[in-house]
């Protein structure tokens, strides 16, 4: 086989697969696909609700039921049956039999397409056959039984090798399984429906189980062990088949299929690319216009950049019912109950509105105790002056880091890991927002990240399709700059200063549920992308904190308030430099805004924020929130209210002298 022949065959191979592959047809899951009633129920190692790890503390007893378990156990009995949903074939296979069924289906569909479309091009087919056969011996020698079975099915379905030849190269029980698999493989030639191919993939997996090619689930298998086993089965199939075939991205896996389909959805006119005057509605142009209309942020370091400011997607209200329940119980479990926070911080917010007393010779009232104090020699002044009441106004801005790094698993206790960072930041912002609402203090809540920007009315389907069209069109028109234009720095407003908290609390509650149960939220988005919020807007880990801090401070400057407090809840993993973030924070504080950095699971805030608190475990959130805000309030009271008794509380020693910023 010459290099030219390989190149031509590979190009033709890719074209056929791109044209022939379409798994977007949505149907109900066929009844014959459903698991058998006698299927073993897995014993759970962890509580049912995915946020259980969030609610684990060092003093918890393993034999005591969790509050979240009790809450959701009661709800499961009363939950009505969900209406039948329409799903894609890949989602259906994954839901019914796990990732192994998805991998087997993609291998069979690849083989079916090659046998069907390459049959008329015998030269190209023979080139592929020679390439594949050269790789078979090594792949068979290095693979385990399930991988051998899947590769044999692929080669038989495409017609590259017969059953007898393959049976001599595989283990004995795999060879016996191939005898029973032949009847199903022969049916591939008579079908062109991906759902029929999915049925055959499930039947072949059942054959593999009957011959013990697939490891059976144990009676006491936990969910964690089950997930690890299913991932291993998928890897056995995918790695063995991929070691032989030419990998086409659209048939590699579910994610590659989605990315390839989205990139292919570029806008073109009937007779070629549109002219500049005909670009209305072009997703590439829409994205460029959105960025050009966004505000420009100027940093004290001399850097400038665009910041896409938008309302947070309203569809997160769909998760609000579960979010409200979980917020209440998580606040109690983490020691961040609203009553505790309000009780600790309410007096400090009100202290500066009281009348103070100080002695003086003029413009005052005669104290009724003046004679007694003068006679005892304890008081040298007869008159005391009562201060005029001070009515300070506050403005509070709460910034939540919404980068994908906040959804990564972190240590909880005893080696256990859970994605608690974004949930903790959202819970902290929720608690302070409710306190501000109780005190009628002006406040806003915002979330920032760096990814393709979402629209306020986006669903998961609308967001994914718009991102795919814009990315494909920008790659055509902008080349290498497309990456920069589709990964913008975004500032989402959950509640503005002028909004009522009642309007925003459902959105924040929905965000908390998504952050607490990211896997369940992703599953909900896959089941119903037309109605689910855009979960995939949190797909990038990098963030640029300094631009968002500067913009939030600038927004507060436009409010007629006497005291401005900016609270940033982040993990400190800024894509910019920590030095630039530190200089931005210093510049904001010189402008009269008190900035508090609360590090969630990371201590980078110590290098960037003069006033900082670090939360290394969920149970530390309450102390960090109360201590940090108390420190900020003490500073404002002492600087604007004089030497007053409430600024000398015993707790001030603990919180009003933060450690020096680390280098």
Q: What 3-state class would DSSP assign to 390?
A: coil
Q: Is the pLDDT of residue 248 over 60?
A: yes
Whether 559 is covered by a domain: the verdict is: no
Computed on alpha carbons and rounded to an integer, the radius of gyration of the chain in Å comes to: 31
3 state SS of 27: strand
The mean pLDDT of 382-409, rounded to a whole number, is 71
Same domain, 397 and 369: no
Say what the pLDDT of residue 184 is.
92
Considering only 20-29, 318-327, 551-560, 654-663, which range has the smallest mean pLDDT?
Answer: 654-663
Output the pLDDT for position 552. 94
Name the band, by pLDDT with cuts 50, 70 and 90, for residue 520: confident
Q: Does residue 446 have a pLDDT over 90?
A: yes
pLDDT for res 60: 38
**The predicted structure's pLDDT at residue 2:** 78
pLDDT of residue 510: 93
Please tell me the predicted confidence (pLDDT) of residue 566: 92
- pLDDT at residue 76 in the model: 40
Better pLDDT: 652 or 529: 529
* Calpha distance 470→339 (Å, rounded): 47
The SS3 call for residue 499 is coil
Of the pLDDT bands very low, low, confident and very high (cuts 50, 70, 90), residue 254 is confident
pLDDT on residue 341: 53
Mark whether 501 and 613 lie in a shared domain.
yes
Q: Is residue 99 part of a domain?
A: yes
Same domain membership, residue 519 and residue 377: no
Whether pTM > 0.85 for this model: the answer is no
Do 208 and 327 fall within a single domain?
no
Q: Average the pLDDT over 374-379 and give the result.
A: 66
Residues 375 and 498 in one domain: no
Q: How confident is the model at residue 362 (pLDDT cuts 50, 70, 90)?
A: very low
Say if 301 falls within a structural domain.
no
Other residues' Cβ atoms within 10 Å of the Cβ of residue 630 = 19
User: Of 245, 261, 277, which residue is a domain's last?
Assistant: 261
> Which of 338, 368, 386 is where one domain is finished?
386
- Rounded to whole angstroms, the Cα distance separating 298 from 584 reads 10
Residue ending a domain, choose from 261, 276, 304: 261
**Does the structure show a pLDDT above 80 at 114?**
yes
Residues 106 and 172 in one domain: yes
Flag whether 286 is in a domain. Answer: no
Report the distance separating Cα 566 and Cα 553, nearest Å.
Answer: 7
Lowest pLDDT segment from 79-88, 150-159, 473-482:
79-88
Average pLDDT over residues 510-518: 89
Judge whether 630 lies within some domain. yes
pLDDT of residue 523: 86
- Whether residue 186 is predicted with pLDDT greater than 80 in this model: the reply is yes
* Residue with tokens 């039999």, as numbered in its chain: 97
Residues 455-503 have pLDDT tens digits of 999 999 999 888 888 888 888 788 778 888 888 999 999 999 999 998 8
Residue appearing with tokens 């912002």: 429
E-state strands within 362-518:
365-366, 383-386, 394-401, 410-413, 416-418, 442-451, 488-495
Whether the predicted pLDDT of 300 surpasses 70: yes
Q: Which of 204-218, 331-345, 346-360 has the lowest mean pLDDT?
A: 346-360
201 and 227 both lie in a single domain: yes
Mean pLDDT (the chain, rounded): 77
Nearest to residue 387, comparing CAs of 656, 645, 12, 118?
645
Q: CATH code at 571?
A: 3.40.50.410
> Is pLDDT at 651 greater than 50 in this prediction?
no
Domain assignment present for residue 504? The answer is yes
Q: Which residue has the higher pLDDT, 458 or 439?
A: 458
pLDDT at 622: 62
Q: How confident is the model at residue 649 (pLDDT cuts 50, 70, 90)?
A: very low
Number of domains present in the structure of the chain: 3
Q: Would you state the pLDDT for residue 637?
A: 54
**Residues 135 and 85 both lie in one domain:** yes
Note whether 338 and 224 are same-domain residues: no
Mean pLDDT of 418-434: 83
Band (642; pLDDT cuts 50, 70, 90): very low
- Between 246 and 64, residue with greater pLDDT: 246
pLDDT at 224: 80
pLDDT tens-place string over residues 598-627:
888 777 788 888 888 887 776 676 667 666
- The dihedral of CA 5, 264, 91, 113: what is its sign? negative
Domain residue limits at 364:
356-386
DSSP string, 624-660: HHHHHHHHHHHHHHHHHH-S-GGGG-TTHHHHSSPPP
For residue range 273-289, list pLDDT tens digits in order: 544 444 446 778 888 88
Same domain, residue pair 456 and 579: yes
DSSP-derived pairing of the beta strands 304-306 and 296-298? antiparallel
Statement: residue 656 has pLDDT above 70 = no
Average pLDDT over residues 336-359: 53
Residue 300 lies in a domain: no
Comparing 453 with 69, the larger pLDDT belongs to: 453
User: Could you tell me if residue 187 is inside a domain?
Assistant: yes
pLDDT of residue 658: 46
Question: 443 with 366, same domain?
Answer: no
* CB-count exposure of residue 600 (10 Å: 0-12, 13-18, 19+): buried
Q: How many CA atoms lie within 13 A of 313 on its CB side?
A: 25
> For the ranges 168-177, 345-354, 453-462, 473-482, which has the lowest average pLDDT?
345-354
Could you give the CA distance from residue 301 to residue 580 in angstroms, rounded to a whole number? 6
* 587-605 average pLDDT score: 85
The reply to whether 438 and 582 lie within a common domain is: yes
Which whole number is the average pLDDT over 180-200?
91
Q: What percentage of the chain has pLDDT greater than the value 90?
A: 28
Instruction: Look at residue 237 and tell me whether its pLDDT is greater than 90.
Output: yes
Residue 72: what pLDDT? 35
pLDDT band at 343 (very low <50, low <70, confident <90, very high): low
In this predicted structure, the answer to whether residue 296 has a pLDDT above a threshold of 90 is yes
Q: Which residues contact 309 (CB under 8 A, 6 or more apart)?
A: 294, 295, 490, 491, 493, 551
pLDDT band at 425 (very low <50, low <70, confident <90, very high): confident
398 contacts 312 by C-beta, under 8 angstroms: no
């Amino acid at each position: 086989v010459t290099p030219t022949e390989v190149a031509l065959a590979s190009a033709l191979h890719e074209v056929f697969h791109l044209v022939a592959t379409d798994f977007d047809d949505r149907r109900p899951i066929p009844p014959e696909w459903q698991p058998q009633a006698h299927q073993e129920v897995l014993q759970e190692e962890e509580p049912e609700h995915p946020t259980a790890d969030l609610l684990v503390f060092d003093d918890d007893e393993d034999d005591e039921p969790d509050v979240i378990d009790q809450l959701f156990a009661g709800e499961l009995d009363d939950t009505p049956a969900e209406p039948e949903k329409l799903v894609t074939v890949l989602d259906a296979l994954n839901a019914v039999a796990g990732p192994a069924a998805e991998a087997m289906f993609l291998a069979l569909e690849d083989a079916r397409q090659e046998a069907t479309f390459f049959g008329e091009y015998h030269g190209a087919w023979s080139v592929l056959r020679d390439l594949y056969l050269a790789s078979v011996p090594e792949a068979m020698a290095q693979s385990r039984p399930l991988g051998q079975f899947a590769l044999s099915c692929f080669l038989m379905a495409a017609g590259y090798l017969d059953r007898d030849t393959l049976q001599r190269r595989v283990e004995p029980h795999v060879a016996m399984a191939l005898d029973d698999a032949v009847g199903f493989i022969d049916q591939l030639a008579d079908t062109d429906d991906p759902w029929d191919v999915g049925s055959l993939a499930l039947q072949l997996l059942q054959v593999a189980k009957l011959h013990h090619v697939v490891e059976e689930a144990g009676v006491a298998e936990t969910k964690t062990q089950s997930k690890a086993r299913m991932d291993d089965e998928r890897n056995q199939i995918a790695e063995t088949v991929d070691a032989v075939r030419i990998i086409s991205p659209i048939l590699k896996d579910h994610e590659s299929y989605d990315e390839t389909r989205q990139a292919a959805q570029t806008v073109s006119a009937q007779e070629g690319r549109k002219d500049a005057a005909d670009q209305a509605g072009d997703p590439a142009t829409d994205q460029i216009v959105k960025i050009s209309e966004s505000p420009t942020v100027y940093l004290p370091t001399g850097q400038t950049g665009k910041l896409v400011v938008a309302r947070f997607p309203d569809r997160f209200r769909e998760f609000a019912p579960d979010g409200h329940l979980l917020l209440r119980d998580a606040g109690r479990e983490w020691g961040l109950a609203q009553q505790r926070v309000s009780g600790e911080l309410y007096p400090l917010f009100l202290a500066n509105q009281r009348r103070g007393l100080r002695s003086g010779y003029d413009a005052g009232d005669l104290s009724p105790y003046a004679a007694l104090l003068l006679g005892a020699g304890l008081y040298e002044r007869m008159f005391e002056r009562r201060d005029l009441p001070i009515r300070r106004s506050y403005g509070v801005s709460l910034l939540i880091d919404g980068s994908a790094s906040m959804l990564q698993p972190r240590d909880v206790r005893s080696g256990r890991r859970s994605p608690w960072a974004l949930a903790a930041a959202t819970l902290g912002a929720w608690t302070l927002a409710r306190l501000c609402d109780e005190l009628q203090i002006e406040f806003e809540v915002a979330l920032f990240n760096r990814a393709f920007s979402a629209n306020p009315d986006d669903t998961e389907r609308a967001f994914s399709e718009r991102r795919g069209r814009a990315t494909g069109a920008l790659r055509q028109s902008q080349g290498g700059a497309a990456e920069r234009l589709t990964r913008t720095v975004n500032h989402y407003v959950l509640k503005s200063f002028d909004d009522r908290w009642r309007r925003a609390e459902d959105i924040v509650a929905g965000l908390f549920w998504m952050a607490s149960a990211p896997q369940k939220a992703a599953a909900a988005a896959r089941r119903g992308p037309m109605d689910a919020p855009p979960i995939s807007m949190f797909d990038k880990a990098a963030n640029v904190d300094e631009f968002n801090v500067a913009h939030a401070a600038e927004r507060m400057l436009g409010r007629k308030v006497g005291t401005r407090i900016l609270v940033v809840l982040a993990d400190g993993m800024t894509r910019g430099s920590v030095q630039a973030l530190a200089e931005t924070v210093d510049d904001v504080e010189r402008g009269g805004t008190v900035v508090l950095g609360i590090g969630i699971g990371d201590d980078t805030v110590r290098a960037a924020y003069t006033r900082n608190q670090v939360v290394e475990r969920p149970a530390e959130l309450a102390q960090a929130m109360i201590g940090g805000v108390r420190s900020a309030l003490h500073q404002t009271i002492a600087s604007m209210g004089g030497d007053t008794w409430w600024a000398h509380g015993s707790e001030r020693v603990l919180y009003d002298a933060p450690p020096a910023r680390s280098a």
